[in-house]
Structure 1
Amino acid sequence: MTIFETARFSLPLLAAGQAHKELFHNDALILLDFLVHPVVEAIANDPQSLSPVAGQCWLVGLAAIGEWSGRENQIAGWSAGGWHFIKPQKSMKITVRETNQLALYREDGWWFNADITTPTGGNNIDSEARSAIDSILAALKVTGILPEIGQNDSGLS
């Protein structure tokens, strides 16, 4: 039996002689729109509490209810046709707009940036070294590359 979806993100594929190909094609484009540089508004459990606008996405929390039940850790994107769900893949990265955090999906769930503090205190203070460390940390934060990633206390795993 032929599978008519992509292996990684289950995007719908077209088949020879398929009726209403434009529906499948448009559905694939909507999912790709959510996947290219993915940004979620926040982490949520109840879609009824939201007033989504087409193109907005949320990260489904661990206590999902209603239409989102059974979709924990997935990305829920809203379009004129309703909710679309994307199963995250290992090493997938998203931005959470509400907290301005980057998140990375690992086999055991979503992991979020940990705050890295600049050095303080000490008996022998090297101001040049501290300045260099501050510059490195600033560059890592701007690019989204951090040496330490910690799990968020949001309950997602």
Structure 2
Amino acid sequence: MTDRTARLALPLLHSSQAQKEMTHNEALTCIDLLLHGGIEGVGEDTPPATAQPGQCWIVGDAPVGAWAGSARHIAGMTAGGWRFVAPREGMALWWAGGETTVVFRGAQWRIGELHARRLMVEGTAVVGAQRPAIPGANGGNVRDVEARATLDTVLTALRDHGLIGR
């Protein structure tokens, strides 16, 4: 039998355990740090000097001081000091300073990446999978320089945004 939950490694109570409130309170502290989690910074290696209970950071790759040994973990300040939670695949947190989400995928934190099959606005798909490349204007009996320049600009924008292949 394990003494931690499978996904978030939260401490479990055991029958006949003394001081069960300590284990239970530790689990609640970790849940409080992660549920609808918001972070103050990403990739920080040095703990902030003035952290307040409830504030969290994503620890960088070379942490020092109180964060040493907790690379890429979520560090949360509590009334009892720092608590660390190991990230799990798919874990997402809100980074207010960057106004974006930070997602743990492929053993690393990814800032501001959004992965989807399509983008829907009010029930209508506005962006889907990338389409094949479209060649620029070429040939024809009548040459319209302005129209070709406009088409080239549109095609360049579509390629730059990844909507069509290059």
Whether TM exceeds 0.5 here: the answer is yes
Residue 81 of structure 1 corresponds to 80
2:131: which partner in 1? Answer: none
Cα drift, residue 114 of structure 1: 5.5
| Structure 1 residues 58 and 16, CA gap change in structure 2 (3 angstroms) | same
Matched residue, 2:130: none
Q: Which residue of 2 aligns with 1:46?
A: 46
Q: Structure 2 CA distance, aligned partners of 1:31 and 1:114?
A: 25
**Cross-structure match for 1:36:** 35
Aligned 8 A contact 2:59 2:74 in 1: yes
* Secondary structure of the structure 2 residue equivalent to 1:84: strand
1:96 aligns with 2:95: yes
Which residue of structure 1 lines up, in the alignment, with residue 140 of structure 2? Answer: none
Report 1:99-110 matches (<5 A): 99-110=98-109
Q: Give the equivalent residue in structure 2 for 1:123.
A: 150
Larger RCO (CA within 8 A; separation ≥ 6):
1
Opposite residue 40 of structure 1, the aligned amino acid is: I
Give the partner amino acid of 2:90: S
TM-score (norm 2): 0.66
CA-CA distance at 1:50 after TM superposition: 2.7
- The unaligned stretches of length 5 or more in structure 2 are 115-148
Please give the alpha-carbon distance, in whole angstroms, between the structure 1 residues aligned to 2:17 and 2:31. Answer: 21
- TM-aligned CA deviation for residue 36 of structure 1: 0.7
Q: Percent identity?
A: 35
| Structural RMSD (CA) | 2.4
- 1:2-81 equivalences under 5 Å are 2-43=1-42, 44-47=44-47, 49-81=48-80
Q: Distance in 1 between matches of 2:70 and 2:106?
A: 16
| TM-score when normalising by structure 1 | 0.69
Query: Cα distance, 1:66 vs. partner?
Result: 1.3
Displacement after TM superposition at 1:41 (Å): 0.5
